[in-house]
Amino acid sequence: MSDEKKINVSAEENEEALVDALFAKRISYDLTPDNSRFFLSEGGLISMELSVPDKEKEFFERVIIIRSFPISNPTGFLSVRAPDSRGSEKGEEIGIIHDINDFPEETVKIISEELDKRYFIPEITKVHSIRDKYGFSYWDCDTSSGRRTFIVSNPYSNIRLLDDGRLLVEDMDGSNFCIPEKKKLDNSSQRKIEAFY
């Protein structure tokens, strides 16, 4: 084989290797108490140690935990991810926790506290007014985090009655609010939200 052909073959192999590396994804594991350990770092971030048979232990200084089904299954199918280079949650998935309650109490506490912060949804305790104008719904409410005013676009798509009877309201900014039980609201508030039940 001539030197020119060898160079071309070598260049093609390098290109293939670069493409393979570009599209290589890490394997997502089923995370269990047997193969993963979660703990807080000195800075208060969730760290993780992963032990997979036939591989070296991996240490992740910071992991991000995301609910796959935040409404219908908040303790199951939790995606554990390494943050991307900007520190966002779009990094590669390390694995899935099928049920957080399978883990030791300390791990459940650490992960639950993090999820409660990430998925904080204020409860609406009183509805002062709801005004509809040009397809938008303007809400003025007391919530568990203080008085809030917010705008809901397309109310019939962004206000949902869940199977368990809760009313979930998503505003234009993507913030969520919840009415856990209509009966707990005063009569005036109940009348204002009647159309959504």
37 and 85 part of one domain:
yes
138 and 114 part of one domain:
no
3-state SS, residue 189: helix
129 and 114 part of one domain:
no
* Strand ranges (E), 5-123: 29-31, 36-40, 46-50, 58-60, 64-67, 76-81, 93-99
Regions in the chain scoring below 50 on pLDDT? 5-7
102 and 161 part of one domain:
no
CB-based burial, 76-95: b 16+ in 10 Å, e otherwise? bbbbbbbbeeeeeeebebbb
34 and 113 part of one domain:
yes
Determine the distance from the C-alpha atom of residue 57 to the mean position of all C-alpha atoms in its chain, rounded to a whole number: 26
Residue 92 — φ and ψ, nearest 5°? Answer: -70, 145
Domain with 80 in it: 27-118
88 and 142 part of one domain:
no
Using the 3D structure, point to which of 96, 118, 140 is the last residue of a domain: 118
79 and 144 part of one domain:
no
Using the 3D structure, point to which of 118, 147, 163 is the last residue of a domain: 118
* Per-residue confidence (pLDDT) for residue 78, from 0 to 100: 96
33 and 106 part of one domain:
yes
Q: For residues 141 and 145, what is the distance between their CA atoms, to the nearest angstrom?
A: 10
Determine the distance from the C-alpha atom of residue 194 to the mean position of all C-alpha atoms in its chain, rounded to a whole number: 30
Residue 20 lies in a domain: no
3-state SS, residue 145: coil
Q: For residues 46 and 60, what is the distance between their CA atoms, to the nearest angstrom?
A: 9
109 and 154 part of one domain:
no
3-state SS, residue 54: coil
Residue 11 lies in a domain: no
Tokens read off for 155: 């109310």
* Per-residue confidence (pLDDT) for residue 164, from 0 to 100: 84
Q: For residues 108 and 46, what is the distance between their CA atoms, to the nearest angstrom?
A: 12
Residue 132 lies in a domain: yes
- Number of domains comprising the chain: 2
Beta pairing partners, 143: 124, 146
Using the 3D structure, point to which of 118, 133, 154 is the last residue of a domain: 118
CA atoms within 13 A on the CB side of 137: 20
103 and 68 part of one domain:
yes
Q: For residues 181 and 128, what is the distance between their CA atoms, to the nearest angstrom?
A: 17
Residue 4 lies in a domain: no
